[in-house]
Amino acid sequence: MSNGGESNLGGKAEYQGPLNLFPVPYSEGVFNFHWFNFYNAVCFQIIIGAPTVLLAKDLGANSVVLGIIAAFTPLMTVLQLPAARHLGNYSYRSFALLGWGLRSLFIATSAIVPLLFFFSKDVRLGLLLASLFFFNLLRGISSASFLPWITNLVTSPIRGRFISVDHTFINAGSLIAMLVSAILMKGHVDPWKYSLVLWVSVIGAAISLLYLRLIPDTKHEERAAISSESVPLVTMMSLTPFRNWIIFSLLFVLVAGGLGVFPVEYLRVQAHFSPSLIYGLAAFTFLGPMLILQWVGVRVDRYGSILFIRLSLLVFSIVLSLWFAMSAGVIHPSWWLVLLLNFLGGAAMAAFNMANGHLWMAVVPVQGKNHYFAMATVITSFGAGVAPLIWGVLLDELGGLDLMEGPFHLRRHSIYFLGIFLICVSALITSKILIEPGAEGGGRVKS
């Protein structure tokens, strides 16, 4: 399976991790994927997270522009589909290295934007959007290699463990990114502070590339030919577990699509939190996952994905109902409440993403694997890209809406939180269509 010496990946633990804290049933070479994602998280939590959102807001961005920023990442991921046609001609590692290296250049151009005082705010906002566009363009193309690469490296029986460790490292990197941002942005918000935070993103990107080079390549020509084989869309959708997963995921992306921008906008504009406080509170979004993912990962392998998908959706629905109550004036928007909601919401979302990702890997067959992954990513990413655009237009159209309905003070952001709460409940109900391959009542899908 590997030309990097990775064998018996489903056997007993081959590597104990740093300080023997993460014993895993795969080698140190595969473990480098977690270090890559740690530093990559430091990078992307800044360049496509709250720091860039607040920079855009300070440059005069309205809700539609924030929606565009949120849409860039998922919409550009649709480029995985044409990229998958050429993936068989390259190794997974070289394909990823080229795209991830080039995208780092546009993080650097974003870091320069806040310092261009001789340009108007509109021009600087336009330059920021252009940098983010090309960053996400290159990221979208090169990301086509990652899921096929992982499924070659890590066999099905241990994927829950792999995903849980990987998400732990991602959340640790995200936590550090937000804490560092909070420290750097403390006090008066000057443009050079935004630039400094973005240079932290550049450093994270550079270090992640070093670890990316250390991950074993897995591709043999005969496996590449099978996984790169073109599969018609009709054939893909005739596979019931795959089709039902697509339908369910499309519903949930309407919830998740704008979570990176509109809660941040609410805290800044309506609750009047400072950027430093927003970053500090955002850090707790990543603390919750670090405490539960190891526990969840082992049990997803043992009991399957669907149970944990439903439990996480239930908890997340409760969290969203409290965001609605806070934005509607029923509950005062205190920092400790936001901290609690970020902690619980982050844990629920992490458990959902891990379980849903585990199910995704299970419903994709080996034959035509590259195209199944690319098609699923294109469809769900398109939905995730359209969602923040819809919410952005709606929020701007609502403008200064200010209505009292019983105890609820309905304003633009409270309408947003009410909407995603109702969609989240709908997703919980719709989860009954999901099929766990290999489970009773579901067809076995080899992966």
CATH of residue 73's domain is 1.20.1250.20
Per-residue pLDDT, 181: 92
- The HSE-up count of residue 331 (CA atoms within 13 Å, CB side) is 15
Q: What is the pLDDT along the chain (447 residues), one digit of tens a residue?
A: 333 334 434 334 477 777 777 777 787 888 999 999 999 999 999 998 889 999 999 999 999 999 999 899 888 887 877 777 777 777 888 888 988 899 999 999 999 999 999 999 999 999 999 999 999 999 888 887 887 788 788 877 777 778 778 888 998 999 999 999 999 988 788 889 999 999 999 999 999 999 999 998 875 444 545 555 567 778 888 888 889 999 999 999 999 888 888 999 899 888 889 989 998 998 899 888 888 877 887 788 788 889 999 999 999 999 999 999 999 989 988 999 999 999 999 999 989 988 998 888 888 887 777 678 778 878 888 888 899 999 999 988 887 776 777 677 788 889 999 999 999 999 999 999 998 876 544 433 333
In a domain, 152, yes or no: yes
In a domain, 263, yes or no: yes
Whole-structure pTM over 0.85, yes or no?
no
In a domain, 13, yes or no: no
Per-residue pLDDT, 20: 72
In a domain, 214, yes or no: yes
How far apart, in whole angstroms, are the C-alpha atoms of residue 77 and residue 379? 10
The token pair at 121 is 């705010």
125: closest CA among 200, 70, 54, 188?
Answer: 54
Q: How far apart, in Å, do the first and last CA atoms of the chain sit?
A: 13
Centre a 10 Å sphere on the Cβ of residue 386 and count the other Cβ atoms it contains: 17
Per-residue pLDDT, 317: 97
> What's the domain count of the chain?
1
In a domain, 87, yes or no: yes
Give the domain extent around 103. Answer: 25-433
- The HSE-up count of residue 89 (CA atoms within 13 Å, CB side) is 5
In a domain, 129, yes or no: yes
Give the three-state DSSP class for 198.
helix
In a domain, 359, yes or no: yes
Per-residue pLDDT, 336: 93
Q: Tell me which residue has tokens 């995208």.
A: 103
Which phi-psi region, left, alpha or beta, contains residue 234 (left: φ > 0; alpha: ψ -120 to 50)? alpha
Phi, psi of 10 (to 5 degrees): -95, 5
In a domain, 6, yes or no: no
Give the three-state DSSP class for 435.
coil
Q: Tell me which residue has tokens 């080698």.
A: 27
Per-residue pLDDT, 222: 42
